[in-house]
Amino acid sequence: MDFADSPEEARFRERLRAWLAENNPHLPASSTSDEYWEKQPAWHRSLYQAGFFGLSWSARYGGHDRPTVYDVIVDEELAAAHAPPRPNLGYLVQALLAHADDDIKERFLPDLISGQARWCQGFSEPDAGSDLASLRTRAVRDGDQFIVSGHKVWTSYSDVADWCLLLARTDPDTRGHQGLSAFAIPMDQAGITQRPLKMISGVAREFGEVTFDAAVVPVANMIGTPGDGWAVAMTILAHEREPQELGNASRYRKTVAQLRKLMRDHPDSYDAEQFRELAWAIVESDMLQHLVRRRLSERLDGLAHGADGSIDKLLMTRVEQTVGHAAVDIAKGTHDELGASMLATYLYSRAQSVMGGTAQIQKNIVAHRVLGLPKS
């Protein structure tokens, strides 16, 4: 496989590098600071206005109709410049592209892609996290609108969201994944209350807890048809569980590079076990990068991924936790900003085996839907 840039790709890369030299906001890692979440919307708009966001999406909705490889170039250069990664919105865009009608796409996709409107994802509930099919939030039809009541938790970016892609039960007589529907519900209304959730790393702006008390959403804002909610959710999760092109892989490699520099500067301060941990972090982060490049090549050949996303999620979990463990062990005697950042990196990595569907759920999906093993 040839990873070299074409002449056009090389020109794009050089233009991006020059732009980053002047516009890099140098935000801290998302897992370590609220500053990242506070300034991410402005970073999104800045990338978009410069022509470096939404590259592979349709120009009809504000994208650039470029091959996916241009997104990879952006991810690589952002990581190399120690700039913040691209905002992770692809799973929402893919859900609307796959399931929404033309009216929904034209009303919502341009502002979503450009960063003029912020979105959150209303899936998990206090008693329906990994068991998403057991959710209890209800949407009851009343004329040309639905009345929504329920409780969502671990709702990403809910404090800044203008819209929520909400999964709710529209048929109370059904069980499990049947009778679920998806909506684009406006967050700025009296029936919705948002409360931030502070994580052990100290970050309080990434996730929120949201309650819906007779909130209102127009019938015209349903994504797909009644009962399509499960299909919408599976599209979202299939894309959410992939390593986001090279974004996450580059982030892990950036952490590894910081650890390598720390050990090179003070080689006598570390023992053989710490060198072994760093070696494994290097190997596993490189392995993930090659997997993501393989996935990219497959998509460029027109191959779509479904349940395979669970394999990617399991590998990404392992790599993030390997890197996180090396970070806290190697930097544990470093009482400065880097040491604090590495501790936060470790703490955040522990959640990777739960967020986006637990590792146990992913293994079940791989067993049943990839390997074809019987359920028992």
| Catalytic residue list | 240
**What is the DSSP secondary-structure string of 60-127?**
GGT-----THHHHHHHHHHHHTTPPPPP--HHHHHHHHHH--HHHHHHHHHHHHHTSS-EEEE--BTT
The rounded distance, in Å, linking the Cα atoms of 328 and 201 is 13
What six digits make up the tokens of 235? 């599209």
E-strand stretches of 170-262: 180-186, 192-197, 207-218, 222-223
Tell me which residue has tokens 């804002």: 221
Distance of CA 274 to the CA centre of its chain: 30
The rounded distance, in Å, linking the Cα atoms of 291 and 306 is 16
Tell me which residue of 66, 19, 60, 65 sits closest to 43, measured CA to CA.
19
Pairing of strands 119-122, 163-169: parallel
Tell me which residue has tokens 């034209």: 106
